[in-house]
Structure 1
Amino acid sequence: MISLRNKALIVATVLTACLSGCASVSTMDQAAAVEAINGNPPEGQARIYVYRDDVLGAALYKDIYIDGKCLGESAPNTFFYADVEGDKDHFVSTESEFSPNHLFIYTKANEKYYIQQFLKMGVFVGGAALTQVDKATAMRAMQECKLAVPGTCSSAQEVKLPSQQTVE
């Protein structure tokens, strides 16, 4: 029989293995990242940046969606951006442990929006969440991030909003 101390050691070892390591996704060169950060959305559109700058769950990839369409799969110190229709409601989603987490955002035309994806402890594997942040906070973090190549999500399906939720 395994003692309580040994069970705790096994759980700690498994959690450490899950939360350490290093995830990697394809990234673009530094020039593309600088252009993305300094660029503006096309006229009438808004630009949404989603970045992940934490080291918790470094071995975990987490899908990110905008309006249900795959933006990409994040890894530590990566960011994505998407130009979306301005003056409209949108939802950004991230894969989490049991179901996607959504962040609802109203975008104004010709504006930029910044969303941080962060990982949190889960029951079986780390979960993910999203929070909107101000430009200064995002710029400090994104300077250390690489622009990830968009369009690859592990779930390979669109994320749907639960029918009882509406965008306000």
Structure 2
Amino acid sequence: MKKLFAVLFMAVPLFLTGCVSTTMDSLENDAAAKKFEQPKNKMSGIYIYRDSIFGSALKKNLYIDDHFIGESAPKVYFYKQVKAGPHKISTESEFSNNDLNINTESGKNYFIRQYIKLGVFIGGANLEQVSEEQGKKAVSELKRALAQ
């Protein structure tokens, strides 16, 4: 029984680092978003990114204000402009969505990191707001996924 447990314990990371595909945005839109220009007309920019390869076999739905944005994948980001004000950013997790509430200001960009964590049956996911400096650095190394 100990050997079976040990094999399963070692197999979980292998399973969680498989491949996943998501619909990618154009190279032009990717380059434009990486200029990190300030949004105009009372809008805010939200970058949601996943920079870790841990759990790469898992797809997790992302939402802004309960509107589906897309399925995350490792080494990708989504960019969406929203009206300035309060917003709920959500990620699908193991048993229910995990939410992050932020209050955005007009003309500013916000960076949200999605990360995968071990779960009971499958990996879960959570969100954290990061600094503009950390977010820009991470997004610069990722590819843009097509937001819905």
- Length-normalised TM-score, structure 2: 0.93
**What is the distance in 2 between the residues matched to 1:132 and 1:145?**
17
**What is the distance in 2 between the residues matched to 1:9 and 1:30?**
42
Residue of structure 1 equivalent to 2:56: 58
Matches within 5 A, 1:87-98: 88-98=85-95
Following TM superposition, by how much is the alpha carbon of 1:24 offset from its aligned partner in structure 2, in angstroms? 1.4
Identify the match of residue 106 of structure 1 among 103, 110, 125. Answer: 103
Residue of structure 2 equivalent to 1:155: none
Rg (Cα) greater in structure: 1
**What is the distance in 1 between the residues matched to 2:95 and 2:25?**
31
**What is the distance in 1 between the residues matched to 2:50 and 2:88?**
17
Residue of structure 1 equivalent to 2:124: 127
Q: Secondary structure at the match of 1:46?
A: strand
**What is the distance in 2 between the residues matched to 1:31 and 1:82?**
15
Following TM superposition, by how much is the alpha carbon of 1:31 offset from its aligned partner in structure 2, in angstroms? 2.4
Q: Secondary structure at the match of 2:34?
A: helix
- Length-normalised TM-score, structure 1: 0.82
**What is the distance in 1 between the residues matched to 2:77 and 2:17?**
20
Q: Secondary structure at the match of 1:119?
A: strand
> Would you say 1:22 and 2:19 are equivalent positions?
yes
**What is the distance in 2 between the residues matched to 1:16 and 1:6?**
15
Residue of structure 1 equivalent to 2:8: 10
Following TM superposition, by how much is the alpha carbon of 1:103 offset from its aligned partner in structure 2, in angstroms? 0.3
**What is the distance in 2 between the residues matched to 1:43 and 1:61?**
33
- % identical aligned pairs: 38
Identify the match of residue 67 of structure 1 among 65, 68, 74. Answer: 65
Deviation digits for residues 30-89 of structure 1 (CA, Å, limit 9, x no counterpart): 321120122332311111110110011011111110000011111001111111111x11
Higher strand share: 2
Deviating beyond 4 angstroms after TM superposition, the runs of 4 or more aligned structure 1 residues are none
Aligned length: 147
Between 1:22-31 and 1:46-55, the stretch displaced more is 22-31
- Contact conserved, 2:80 with 2:147, CA < 8 A, in 1? no
Following TM superposition, by how much is the alpha carbon of 1:11 offset from its aligned partner in structure 2, in angstroms? 4.0
Letter in 2 for 1:62: K
- Contact conserved, 2:30 with 2:143, CA < 8 A, in 1? yes
**What is the distance in 2 between the residues matched to 1:9 and 1:107?**
46
Name stretches of at least 5 consecutive residues in structure 1 with no aligned partner.
152-168
Q: Secondary structure at the match of 2:102?
A: strand
Alignment root-mean-square deviation, CA: 1.3
